[in-house]
A and B are shown apart, each in its own frame.
Chain A
Amino acid sequence: MATVTYENASRVYPGATTPSVDKLNIEIKDGEFLVFVGPSGCGKSTSLRMLAGLEEVNSGRILIGDRDVTSLPPKDRDVAMVFQNYALYPHMTVADNMGFALKIAGTPKDEIRKRVEEAAKILDLTAFLDRKPKALSGGQRQRVAMGRAIVRQPQVFLMDEPLSNLDAKLRVQTRTQIASLQRRLGVTTVYVTHDQVEAMTMGDRVAVLKDGELQQCDSPRRMYDHPDNVFVAGFIGSPAMNLMTLPVADGGVKFGSVTHPVDADVLSNTGDTIIAGVRPEDVELDDSGRGLPVEIDVVEELGADAYIYGSVEGAADTDKPFVARVDGRTPPKKGDTIYFTPKADHIHLFNPETGLRLNG
C-alpha cells in the first residue's frame, strides 16, 4: 500500500504544441480511491498512463510511496491495470484465468494457488475455482477479471474506463462492486472515467481535468457544493447547473426585476456582469411574477418531482436549456412563463472573464 504523488508532472506528445497533461500536482493518500474525470481529450487517461509508466513524463515527477518511479519501466512500478483484459479463456479453469499473469511473471505454483484462493474468497468465487468460465454468470466473469489484478497484490490499482463496454445495468452493478471491493481491500486506486456520475458515486476524491490542466480536486460533496470555476460547475451534476450571465446592479445580481444581494467584496472582483450558477433543485419559483422569466418548452413528470426545461429570456450565451426541479404535484405547463430566483445561499458566482469562483 502506498501514497501516490504527482509533482508538476507534464506530458507533451511528440509533434504537439501544447501539453496533454500540464504540471499536474496531486497527492493521493494511502488507500484512497481517486477518480480522474473530464471530457474527451482532457488528459485523464494520459495522467493514469504516466503513473503506469506507459507514457513518458517530460517534466516533473511521480512518486509511489517515497519511491520516485518517474523513469522506471512499467513492470517495476508495482501497479496493476485492472480490467485491461476482460477476455476469459474458455479452456482454462477460473483459477488459471485468475492466475495466468502470475505464471507469466514466473511466480512459483504454490504461491499462485495461495494468492488465487485468497482473491477468490474476497470475490466469492471459491466454489467456482475449478470450473470453466462458461459456468459463470456475467457478474461472476467480471469478478474473475478483477481477480486477475488482485492476485498480483500491487501497491496501486489503475482502472481506465473499465465500465465503458458494459451495458447500463451491468455498469451500475459493477460500479458498486468495484467501490465496495476497493474499500474492503484498502488498496490505493486511481480510476479514470468520462462519466461524472460514475466519478461522484465512486471516488473518495474526484479530480476534474480539462485541456490537460487540473481544475479541482475535492470530495464529491465539496465538488458539488463549491465548484472552483465555471467549467467544474457545468461539468459536475446531472442535470447540469444553470449558468447565466446576468447584470450586476444595486449591490447584487439582477434576476429580472429582483436583485439578489451579494457581498460588496465579491462584486468588486467583477465588472457590469457576473456569471450566476443555480442548480436545478435550487430554483425558487415566484407566483407574483418577480424574478427571471423562463418560457417552458418541456415538462418531465417523474412522480414526486418534475423537471421543467425552457429558455431564459434576456440571459446571454446560454446554449443549454434552463432546467429546474419543481414539485411533481403541481408542475407548470408547457408554454407557461414562470419567474424564478435562486434559493438563498445556493447561488454560485463566477467572474465572466476568468471563470473563477467569486463567492466563498
Chain B
Amino acid sequence: MALDITAARLDPALLDLPWELPLEEWPQDLLAALPQGISRHIVRFVKLSGRVVAIKEIHADLARREYDTLRILNRLDQPSVMPLAVISGRKTADGEPLDACLVTQHLKFSLPYRAVFSQKMRPDTTRRVLDALAVLLVRLHISGVFWGDVSLSNTLFRRDAGDFAAYLVDAETAAVHQQLSNGQREHDTVIAHGNIAGELMDLEAGGHLEEGVDPIEIADRIIHRYELLWEELTATERFESTERWKVEDRIRRLNNLGFDVDELDITTDIDGTHIQIQPKVVDAGYHSRRLMELTGLDVEENQARRLLNDLDAYSASTDRQNDDEAQVAHDWVSEVYTPVTLAAPRSLRRKIEPAELFHEVLEHRWYMSEFSGNDVNIMDAVADYVATVLPNKPDEDAVVGLDTQEMPIVADIDAGRKG
C-alpha cells in the first residue's frame, strides 16, 4: 500500500500503525482509551512513542483542509491542538480504499468537558468553563478566525490557576479570514448558543450538571460574556481632550483582561476638544508573554498572572524592587518556583501540571496561614500539600474522551505498546 503522508516532522512510529485497517477495527492494545458512543467521525486515541495522539478518520480533502487550518491557527498563536500528519491513500488488504486520517497531538493535561463536569466540582465550575470558551471565541474572532461549529465537544479545557483555559480541538468547519463580518461572528454565536444549551441539557439528563443550573440561562450568559468582552476589546471611546488619562485607563483595562494593545487608533476632532480611541490590534496572552520574557516559563494566562504576583512578592520580601527585573526573576525561578514544582515525587506528577501545582500550593499556603494565624513558609506548604492533597487528585496528564456516552478513561501511557 502506497500511503500519501503530509507532515511537517514525521514520527517514524506513525508508519508502524495498522493503516490498512478501518480505524474502528484497530486492536485495543494500541488504544489509549476505549472509545464508545456517538460521534460524527470515528476518532481514536492511540499511544505512540510515549505520548498520545488523536486520529480521526475523515475524507481526504477535509483532512487536508483541517490540517492546514490547524497549522495556520498554531502559527497565529491561537489556542488549538497541534496537527501532526494526514495519512491518505489508505487501502484494506483487499484493496478497498479507506478514508484518510488526520493525526493531532493530544493536549497534555487537558480535559474534555464531560470529564470536567463529571468530577466533584467547585460551585461555579460551569461559569468558569463557559467563560473560558467565551474568551477563546473572542480571541479567534479578533484574529479573523471563523469557527463554524462552536461547541463544548469541540473544545478542550486546561486548568488555569483555578479557572480554565479553552483550546479549539475541531477545525473541520473553521476558516481564517482577513477580518470577520458581524454576520460571521453572529453565525458562530448563534451556533454556540444552540450547541452549548444542547450539551448542557444532555449533561442534565445524565445527572452531571450542578443543581439549579439552567442550561438555557447558561448558554445565554456565555453569549453575553462574549459580547461584553468583544465590546471592551473593539469599541470606540470618545472623551474630552482634558481626560487623556482615559487612554491609559483603557489600555490597563485590556491588560487586566489579559490582552496586549499593539496598536491604538487615536483621532482628535478639528478643534481638538475631543479624542476618540479604538484598539486596532490586540493580542491575547499579556501576562503569559510577560512571564515568558522574564523567566522562559510557558504557562496559561491566569497561571502567569499568579506567578507574576508571587514574583512581585518575592522581590518585595527580598528588598530587590530596584534590581534588574530579569535577574530577580531568574533567582525567583531557581529559589522558589523550581524547588516547589520539584517537591512532588515523580509518581504524582501525572496528576497536575507544574504551574497549576504552584498555584495550588499558593492557595494551600493561604489556608494554612489562616488556620494557624501565622505566615507559613512555602516549602512547608508544599510538603503538606504533597502529603495530604495531591495523592487524592485524579491523574490528568492524558485524559482522553470523545463525545461519548461513557465517561472517558484515563490513558495508561506507561503500559506502552505491546509487541
| Bound form: Cα–Cα A133–B178 in Å | 40
Task: Say whether B95 faces chain A, with CB atoms less than 8 Å apart.
Answer: no
Q: Are B202 and A92 in contact (CB under 8 A)?
A: yes
Q: Are A165 and B62 in contact (CB under 8 A)?
A: yes
Contact partner, A13, options B177, B216, B405, Cβ 8 Å: B177
Q: Are A104 and B59 in contact (CB under 8 A)?
A: no
Instruction: Tell me which residues across on chain B come within 8 A of A89, comparing CB atoms.
Output: 198-199, 201-202, 205
Q: Are B178 and A15 in contact (CB under 8 A)?
A: yes
Contact partner, A104, options B186, B193, B405, Cβ 8 Å: B193
Task: Say whether B38 faces chain A, with CB atoms less than 8 Å apart.
Answer: yes
Cβ-closest chain B residue relative to A194: B61
Question: Interface size class for chain B?
Answer: 35 or more
Task: Say whether B41 faces chain A, with CB atoms less than 8 Å apart.
Answer: yes
Interchain nearest-CB distance for B166 vs A (Å): 18
Q: Are B197 and A104 in contact (CB under 8 A)?
A: yes
Max chain B C-beta neighbours (<10 A), residue from A49, A53, A104: A104
Contact partner, A100, options B62, B172, B198, Cβ 8 Å: B198
Interface of A is mostly: loop
Interchain nearest-CB distance for A13 vs B (Å): 6
Cβ-closest chain B residue relative to A100: B198
Q: Mark B122-134, 1 if CB is under 8 A from A, else 0.
A: 0000000000000
| Bound form: Cα–Cα A53–B190 in Å | 11
A54-B201 CB under 8 A given contacts A90-B38, A104-B194, A167-B99: no
A87-B40 CB under 8 A given contacts A92-B201, A96-B205: yes
A14-B181 CB under 8 A given contacts A84-B191, A87-B40, A100-B197: yes
Contact partner, B195, options A14, A15, A85, Cβ 8 Å: A85
Q: Are B191 and A53 in contact (CB under 8 A)?
A: no
Q: Are A87 and B203 in contact (CB under 8 A)?
A: no
| Bound form: Cα–Cα A327–B202 in Å | 58
Task: Say whether B373 faces chain A, with CB atoms less than 8 Å apart.
Answer: no
Task: Say whether B318 faces chain A, with CB atoms less than 8 Å apart.
Answer: no
Q: Are A165 and B40 in contact (CB under 8 A)?
A: yes
Q: Are B37 and A104 in contact (CB under 8 A)?
A: no
Q: Mark A266-289, 1 if CB is under 8 A from B, else 0.
A: 000000000000000000000000
Contact partner, A56, options B38, B183, B201, Cβ 8 Å: B183
Q: Which residues of chain A from 150 to 186 have a CB within 8 Å of any chain B CB?
A: 164-165, 167
Q: Mark B162-206, 1 if CB is under 8 A from A, else 0.
A: 000000000010000111011110110011011101110111011
Q: Are B38 and A141 in contact (CB under 8 A)?
A: yes
| Bound form: Cα–Cα A50–B85 in Å | 35
Task: Say whether B153 faces chain A, with CB atoms less than 8 Å apart.
Answer: yes
Q: Are A90 and B202 in contact (CB under 8 A)?
A: yes
Contact partner, B184, options A54, A91, A96, A134, Cβ 8 Å: A54
Q: Are B62 and A56 in contact (CB under 8 A)?
A: no
Interchain nearest-CB distance for B152 vs A (Å): 10
| Bound form: Cα–Cα A56–B404 in Å | 37
Q: Are A85 and B194 in contact (CB under 8 A)?
A: yes
Interchain nearest-CB distance for B265 vs A (Å): 16
Q: Mark B361-374, 1 if CB is under 8 A from A, else 0.
A: 00000000000000
| Bound form: Cα–Cα A91–B205 in Å | 6
A90-B183 CB under 8 A given contacts A104-B197, A164-B62: no
Instruction: Tell me which residues across on chain B come within 8 A of A73, comparing CB atoms.
Output: 186
Task: Say whether A88 faces chain B, with CB atoms less than 8 Å apart.
Answer: yes
A87-B201 CB under 8 A given contacts A14-B179, A53-B183, A104-B219: no
Task: Say whether A262 faces chain B, with CB atoms less than 8 Å apart.
Answer: no
A74-B198 CB under 8 A given contacts A88-B38, A90-B404, A134-B405: no
| Bound form: Cα–Cα A147–B290 in Å | 51
Task: Say whether B160 faces chain A, with CB atoms less than 8 Å apart.
Answer: no
Interchain nearest-CB distance for B65 vs A (Å): 10
Instruction: Tell me which residues across on chain B come within 8 A of A134, comparing CB atoms.
Output: 37-38, 405
Instruction: Tell me which residues across on chain B come within 8 A of A90, comparing CB atoms.
Output: 37-38, 202, 206, 403-405
| Bound form: Cα–Cα A103–B184 in Å | 25
Task: Say whether A123 faces chain B, with CB atoms less than 8 Å apart.
Answer: no
| Bound form: Cα–Cα A324–B78 in Å | 50
Task: Say whether B104 faces chain A, with CB atoms less than 8 Å apart.
Answer: no
Q: Are A13 and B194 in contact (CB under 8 A)?
A: no
Task: Say whether B151 faces chain A, with CB atoms less than 8 Å apart.
Answer: yes
Cβ-closest chain B residue relative to A104: B197
Q: Which residues of chain A from 122 to 151 have a CB within 8 Å of any chain B CB?
A: 133-134, 141
Q: Which residues of chain A from 64 to 114 have a CB within 8 Å of any chain B CB?
A: 73-75, 84-92, 96, 100-101, 103-104
Instruction: Tell me which residues across on chain B come within 8 A of A101, comparing CB atoms.
Output: 194
| Bound form: Cα–Cα A91–B404 in Å | 10
| Bound form: Cα–Cα A158–B187 in Å | 14
Q: Are A86 and B99 in contact (CB under 8 A)?
A: no
A55-B181 CB under 8 A given contacts A96-B205, A104-B194: yes
Instruction: Tell me which residues across on chain B come within 8 A of A164, comparing CB atoms.
Output: 59, 62
| Bound form: Cα–Cα A141–B37 in Å | 13
Instruction: Tell me which residues across on chain A come within 8 A of B153, comparing CB atoms.
Output: 87
| Bound form: Cα–Cα A15–B149 in Å | 24
Q: Are B195 and A87 in contact (CB under 8 A)?
A: yes
Q: Which residues of chain A from 4 to 29 have a CB within 8 Å of any chain B CB?
A: 13-16
Q: Are A85 and B191 in contact (CB under 8 A)?
A: yes
| Bound form: Cα–Cα A104–B223 in Å | 14
Instruction: Tell me which residues across on chain B come within 8 A of A88, comparing CB atoms.
Output: 38
Instruction: Tell me which residues across on chain B come within 8 A of A15, comparing CB atoms.
Output: 178-179
| Bound form: Cα–Cα A92–B181 in Å | 35
A54-B40 CB under 8 A given contacts A100-B198, A104-B193: no
Cβ-closest chain A residue relative to B220: A104
A87-B99 CB under 8 A given contacts A14-B181, A54-B183, A92-B202: no
Interchain nearest-CB distance for B171 vs A (Å): 14
Instruction: Tell me which residues across on chain A come within 8 A of B195, comparing CB atoms.
Output: 85, 87
| Bound form: Cα–Cα A49–B173 in Å | 15
8 CB contacts below 8 A, A to B, read A13-B181, A14-B179, A54-B187, A73-B186, A87-B199, A90-B37, A104-B216, A165-B59
Binding site for A on B (CB under 8 A): 37-41, 58-59, 62, 99, 149, 151, 153, 172, 177-179, 181-184, 186-187, 190-191, 193-195, 197-199, 201-203, 205-206, 216, 219, 403-405
- 4 tightest CB-CB pairs across the interface, nearest first? A89-B202, A91-B206, A91-B205, A90-B405
Beyond A100-B197, A103-B201, 14 extra complex contacts between A and B, CB < 8 Å: A54-B184, A54-B186, A74-B186, A75-B190, A85-B194, A85-B198, A87-B198, A89-B199, A90-B37, A90-B202, A90-B405, A91-B202, A91-B206, A104-B198
